[in-house]
Structure 1
Amino acid sequence: MDYLHLTIAEIAAEHYLPEKRKRRRTNTVDGYESSIRLYVLPAWGEMRICEITKDAVQEWVDGLPGQCGPGGAKKAYKCLRQIIRWSIDKWGLFVADPTRGIEMPRQPLYRCETLTHRRLKRLIRGMVGCECEATLVLSASLGLRPGESYAIRWEQINWRTGMVPIRSTLQRASDGVREWPTKTVKSERDLYLPPWALDRLRQLWVDGGRPRGRVIGDYSPQQVSYRIGRWIRHHRLPKVTMRNLRHTWATIAAQSGVGIELVASMLGHTNVQTCYRYYYAMTRAAETRAQRKVSRRLLGKTCDDMYKGIVLTPSWPDRLQQAA
């Protein structure tokens, strides 16, 4: 078969996506397929790899942010790049890669919505009585990904030490709700519940008749998220999504002085830079503390301390008087 004559649409539908579905999580490949269908195929679907030029790809990437934003543009480009490079490696094609050296549009700094420690405490206290309280307690106290908190089973919680092993994630995709391995190998980790969370979860477990199985019971991830959101709205609690509970935990941990490397390890990140980029947020208090330490190193906190023994002439008030 002459693979050089296959179009991008044929490669994607008949070879690339089926191959990926064998090894990747369904919801991950669903994301690839959506981006390919919406942005890659309309531009390149009828073309062969040898007909695509670097300049044409650059022009396409430059125009994508107006359609799907910088993040969507980056994802669409990566999908096209992966299809082309996968084909070159798979079939040993002797063809230039037109996706090399493409400049991506600048992405705005990502700022996640998080709660302060006081608002988080108010949220946790306000969730008492909610049917999905246990899931929120797990997420708020361990900084879990939503799918990781949905997959936890009661029998996995060590009631003596508070250890909770994170080994899987529960997610809905085109083939239904399925349990998958964690996102990366580093995401497989053992976390420990703080005493307040361990005691509250034990109370919920005993009051529920010491059940076995998933903490969310028979609910799907979407049903849990909906019920928590509805409870928050009805009781006028601080609004936060399950995903942003993870952001909140990480930000509070970093602000409390926990080393960023430890925060990244507890979050299950492969690269500490990911934690720093997305979860560590500077606050006024943190910046003020940093400036105070630097000022002390520079022999003083005030202007008089800094310039002690030096006559500052003319002073700013004198200059203003002369100008008037």
Structure 2
Amino acid sequence: MDHSLLSISDIALNHYLPAKRQRRRTNTVDGYESSIRLHVLPRWEGLSIPEIGPDDVQAWVDELAGKIGAGGAWKAYKCLRQIVRWTMDKWGLFVADPTRGIEQPRKPAYKPETLTHRRLKRLIRGFVGCECEPTLIIEAALGTRPGEAYFVRWERINWRTGHVPIDGTLQQTSKGLEEFPTKTAKGERDGYLPPWALDRLHQIWVERGRPRGRIIGDLTPAQANYRIQKWIKENKLPRITMKNLRHTWGTIAAQAGIKIEDVAAMMGHSNIQTTYRYYYALDAARSKRAQKRVARRILGKTSDDMYKGILLKPAWPQALPQAA
């Protein structure tokens, strides 16, 4: 059989996706399939790999970026690229790769919406009595990913030390509710609750009859998230998503002067550059402090210090001529 004649649709649906489902997380492949069905197949489904040209792919990516944004367009492109290259490797096809050399659309800098420490405190205090208060406390106190917060179980919280193992994530997939390891190997870490969070969680645990199991109970992640957002709206609390609550923790930690390597480790980042990109913003105060140190190192703090002993002449007339 000449596999080079197979259409992109046939390859993606009958070969590529089934192969990926054997080795990748269900929710990961669900994401692939969604992008493939929404964006890849409408353009390429009836074509074979030799019928696709690089110029056509570049034009498709550029057009798609205008419709769904640069990020979504690049994700769709990577799905097409993976299908093509997987096919070439799988069956040893010696054909030109039409996905090579494609230029990525410029993406705007991603700036997550975060809360100040005062607004975060208001949010936490406003959740007293909410069914999902324990989940919000875990997220706000440890900076976990949402799925990691949903995964936490009551019996795994050490009430003496505050230790919480972060070693899994709970995800809603096409197969139902599934538990997976953390996103990356470095994502598996030890969290330690601050005293305020540990004491409040213990109070809730006792009030609820010392339950076992997940702190979200029988709720799914989607149900827990819905109830959290509903509580925020009904009680007029600072608006924030669970994902951006994690970003809030990272931002406040960096602003508090915690070493960026420690912030990365505590958040489970596999690459410290991610931490720098999101949380290490050089604010005005730090910029001015840095400039003062550099100035002292050069010669002094003022213009007189810098140009001591030099007669400075103005480069313009002392008085400007009056208009006629």
Question: Please, what TM-score do these two structures have when normalized by structure 1?
Answer: 0.93
- Listed as ranges, the matches of 1:1-324 within 5 Å are 1-314=1-314, 319=318, 321-324=319-322
What is the Cα deviation at residue 300 of structure 1? 3.4
Q: How many percent identity over aligned positions?
A: 67
The whole-number CA distance in structure 1 between the counterparts of 2:135 and 2:308 is: 59
Partner of 2:69, secondary structure, is helix
The whole-number CA distance in structure 1 between the counterparts of 2:309 and 2:237 is: 56
The whole-number CA distance in structure 1 between the counterparts of 2:136 and 2:125 is: 11
The whole-number CA distance in structure 2 between the counterparts of 1:306 and 1:75 is: 53
The whole-number CA distance in structure 2 between the counterparts of 1:297 and 1:124 is: 45
Partner of 1:322, secondary structure, is coil
- The superposition leaves residues 206-231 of structure 1 with CA deviations (integer Å, 9 ceiling, x where unpaired) of 12111100011111112211222222
What is the Cα deviation at residue 103 of structure 1? 0.9
The whole-number CA distance in structure 2 between the counterparts of 1:315 and 1:195 is: 62
The whole-number CA distance in structure 2 between the counterparts of 1:252 and 1:88 is: 47
| Contact 1:250–1:280 under 8 Å retained in 2 | no
Partner of 2:218, secondary structure, is coil
Change (3 A) 1:241 1:16: same
Partner of 1:171, secondary structure, is strand
Change (3 A) 1:211 1:278: same
The whole-number CA distance in structure 1 between the counterparts of 2:15 and 2:254 is: 44
Query: Which amino acid letter does the alignment assign opposite residue 19 of structure 1?
Result: A
The whole-number CA distance in structure 2 between the counterparts of 1:323 and 1:218 is: 82
What is the Cα deviation at residue 315 of structure 1? 7.4
What is the Cα deviation at residue 92 of structure 1? 1.4
Change (3 A) 1:206 1:310: farther
The whole-number CA distance in structure 1 between the counterparts of 2:288 and 2:249 is: 22
CA RMSD of aligned residues (A): 1.8
Partner of 2:280, secondary structure, is coil
What is the Cα deviation at residue 17 of structure 1? 0.8
What is the Cα deviation at residue 184 of structure 1? 1.2
What is the Cα deviation at residue 153 of structure 1? 0.1
| Contact 1:255–1:286 under 8 Å retained in 2 | no
- Gapped runs of 5+ residues in structure 2? none
Query: Which amino acid letter does the alignment assign opposite residue 320 of structure 2?
Result: Q
- The superposition leaves residues 164-216 of structure 1 with CA deviations (integer Å, 9 ceiling, x where unpaired) of 11111111122222222211111111111112211111111112111100011
**Aligned length, in residue pairs:** 322
- Gapped runs of 5+ residues in structure 1? none
Change (3 A) 1:129 1:302: farther
The whole-number CA distance in structure 1 between the counterparts of 2:117 and 2:308 is: 41
Question: Please, what TM-score do these two structures have when normalized by structure 2?
Answer: 0.93
